[in-house]
Structure 1
């Protein structure tokens, strides 16, 4: 009998375009492929503070359920386990007589350390860990500037990636996978405890109306986006009141679709080239974030520009709580924070506006904002979350200058001119005319009364005046340069 192999699913919860799966099945014999034991290990101890937050764990449960069904239908049920991967995986490999474990490479600092521990434990037992590229287009450790140093600026990184040509075409999912009997009983999905605690308020109650975790959901969303929104992506991606973004971020974060599947689907779509090119640059921003995380593993906690370690933040729990709860008094920001809480996702343009308000007007540390996003986003991705917050805060290697302070009023008026977004997520302002929707404090009393709004009761006044907040931000920046 052909020696079985073990397939360790990490953040690549799909069956199509999965190099680790294909390698695990590979055999020179013509018996339908090598027997494979698919396994997912919930190793919260290894991830520590970087383990998935609440919203991401909700998604993970749905994704594992879908993956389990897909694997079972092909003849290789998914084994779920909990514990230290360097203990669980060697034991499973020994139990089924597998000489190799195939897995996707992890890029987070904790995942790299975890891979090393698994490698050493298997090596000591005469077995091997084989890592494959499943989550990115190109490996960050093998892709650098002409100088030999890692890229620190997005534009030359993207130009080099584009000049390298399109990635290889993705592979289809195997029709059949030869499974091996489970050597031990695994955990049930329920026992992993990934959903909100029974008996407590179900903060994820609204997620299911918007999302379908799993590979089928990813492929359906990708097909819908390329057919309906890709052509206008360059014109509509910044308008939160329209369905102009891809919505693929959580599917990419959990690897339910590969970046090269997304890339080729966009390339193959018969639509406006400008929209396609703009979208592909967003995929390259994701790649750049992984590139930064690999070469600067301190990025989730420490500013990449060392001088920002001395920035004069003014931590204020009340200001942070007002921002988290969508009660800042700036409608477009509050709309975004409420969308986040109710759906586990926020429009990308609004993410930038909301993040700017927190770190610049309110002078709250960017790490506090990143932590909130980490816990409430279904697409919380360590590389993208960290790189994006550092970009907004001005402390990344390729960041918006700290003295560039978004005006939340003008941003709202520019990107939500008809107020569709604000009226949906801040319904207490729904009857205000467009002229005052993004600055309700300027509305005359009779307009407020006709709209059913009493400021300070129905909707808060701004927690920080824009001009005052901008001045605070610039003063902080000036102090840093002194």
Structure 2
């Protein structure tokens, strides 16, 4: 469970998460002839000193008790609430004599690893917190490890029956809030129709298609709003762990294309890591300006204009098409997201946090760090603030005819 209301899974991403878990359960059953055990943690209770007294800890301890497990393995997350939770749960498990192992599977380079390297090097080379100095800092750490293959077999649980709480019998609808932002009618089915490749197998197929064809078009055509075959469509698979960032990194590297053909896409995973580095330094960046003096900016308060922007009724065709696409499919390409964001902050002069919250609710790949970093920059309060304005009229024109 992700406890923070500003960072947790909800809306369109909740639709993806539920289906992804269903696919994972089916895959584990088919591959290993065992069940996926899912527990919904009750609200976390973290006492003074950081000790966890309930929630995730009690659920994991109960599963360990039922199975006789003496070791717990997990991949580390980096949202502030998740870091606090995982540290407290780890301490609680260890006090109960359970061995805990954690792994880095969500990013190429973890924030704390980059921070340690920077402490050793003494300083950033370049502007603090911007992409290329961050990339160089990562490169000094060492090469990205290659992903490991899935195990051929795993230990199979042969303990108490499902009557004792060990089945997958859980209402996946309780995993996250996934109702439509404006009305609950058929939104989930509408989203699902647009995304038939949810799950690990689907992620591998989408990756294969992109590496074979889309990657060659990405460098020169990624900004074309009407060309969906020029972008990877892999972000939701990365968001929900269906595709390892290491697997994507090495799939691109192993194509052995000239650097000028993969330069921009090759940096995308580093942008992703950089967003989480920012989140580790500025844990409230989904809500509070990183550059504190921007808190005094005189944003307009106009709920009607905000609603028109959300519904794609601004009168600017590019912006309206983008926002309607977002609402219908949970998706926009990166360049179109930037146009829509710039319109909200620069043309409407509405607070960037309104856009951050709406995108977090409606994006299928809503990522707490990446979304917040983009909106901070759109609102001019981010580390890499946008010192430009994207015209909704120019962006809608095709220079190649």
Farther-moved stretch of structure 1 (176-185 vs 228-237): 176-185
Deviation, 1:165, is: 5.3
Supply the RMSD in Å over aligned alpha carbons. 2.2
- Highest Rg: 1 or 2? 1
Equivalent residue number for residue 72 of structure 1: 29
Deviations 1:52-111 (A, max 9, x none): 111111000111011111111213310011122122012211222222211011100111
Deviation, 1:121, is: 2.0
Equivalent residue number for residue 320 of structure 2: 334
Q: Secondary structure at the match of 1:205?
A: helix
Equivalent residue number for residue 14 of structure 2: 57
Structure 1 residues 105, 167: CA separation in 2 closer, same or farther (over 3 Å shift)?
Answer: same
Alignment counterpart, residue 357 of structure 1, candidates 343, 361, 364: 343
Farther-moved stretch of structure 1 (70-79 vs 132-141): 70-79
1-structure distance, mates of 2:380, 2:132: 17
Deviation, 1:118, is: 0.9
1:374 and 2:360 are equivalent in the alignment: yes
Which residues in structure 2 correspond to 1:308-319 (within 5 Å)? 308-319=294-305
1-structure distance, mates of 2:57, 2:230: 43
2-structure distance, mates of 1:332, 1:166: 41
2-structure distance, mates of 1:304, 1:159: 23
Structure 1 residues 197, 236: CA separation in 2 closer, same or farther (over 3 Å shift)?
Answer: closer
Equivalent residue number for residue 232 of structure 1: 217
Q: Secondary structure at the match of 1:135?
A: coil
Deviation, 1:161, is: 2.8
2-structure distance, mates of 1:394, 1:217: 37
1-structure distance, mates of 2:98, 2:370: 34
Q: Is the 8 A contact 1:341 1:376 kept in 2?
A: yes
Q: Secondary structure at the match of 2:74?
A: strand
1-structure distance, mates of 2:170, 2:251: 32
Q: Secondary structure at the match of 1:143?
A: helix
Q: Secondary structure at the match of 1:103?
A: strand
Farther-moved stretch of structure 1 (186-195 vs 223-232): 186-195
Q: TM-score, normalised by structure 2?
A: 0.87
Structure 1 residues 191, 230: CA separation in 2 closer, same or farther (over 3 Å shift)?
Answer: closer
Farther-moved stretch of structure 1 (315-324 vs 163-172): 163-172
Structure 1 residues 313, 282: CA separation in 2 closer, same or farther (over 3 Å shift)?
Answer: same
Structure 1 residues 88, 207: CA separation in 2 closer, same or farther (over 3 Å shift)?
Answer: same
2-structure distance, mates of 1:241, 1:328: 20
Aligned positions, number: 372
Which residues in structure 2 correspond to 1:417-432 (within 5 Å)? none
Which residues in structure 2 correspond to 1:34-183 (within 5 Å)? 43=1, 46-73=3-30, 74-83=32-41, 84-144=55-115, 145=118, 146-148=121-123, 151-162=128-139, 166-181=143-158, 183=160
Q: TM-score, normalised by structure 1?
A: 0.73
Equivalent residue number for residue 45 of structure 2: none
Which residues in structure 2 correspond to 1:290-309 (within 5 Å)? 290-309=276-295
2-structure distance, mates of 1:310, 1:236: 39
Equivalent residue number for residue 406 of structure 1: 390
Structure 1 residues 161, 173: CA separation in 2 closer, same or farther (over 3 Å shift)?
Answer: same
Deviations 1:378-434 (A, max 9, x none): 100001011111112111112212xx222111122157x65xxxxxxxxxxxxxxxx
Name stretches of at least 5 consecutive residues in structure 2 with no aligned partner.
42-54
2-structure distance, mates of 1:395, 1:302: 9
1:203 and 2:160 are equivalent in the alignment: no
Q: Is the 8 A contact 1:374 1:385 kept in 2?
A: yes
Structure 1 residues 52, 218: CA separation in 2 closer, same or farther (over 3 Å shift)?
Answer: same
1-structure distance, mates of 2:69, 2:264: 45
Farther-moved stretch of structure 1 (110-119 vs 193-202): 193-202
1-structure distance, mates of 2:179, 2:272: 32
Equivalent residue number for residue 221 of structure 1: 206
Name stretches of at least 5 consecutive residues in structure 1 with no aligned partner.
1-42, 419-482
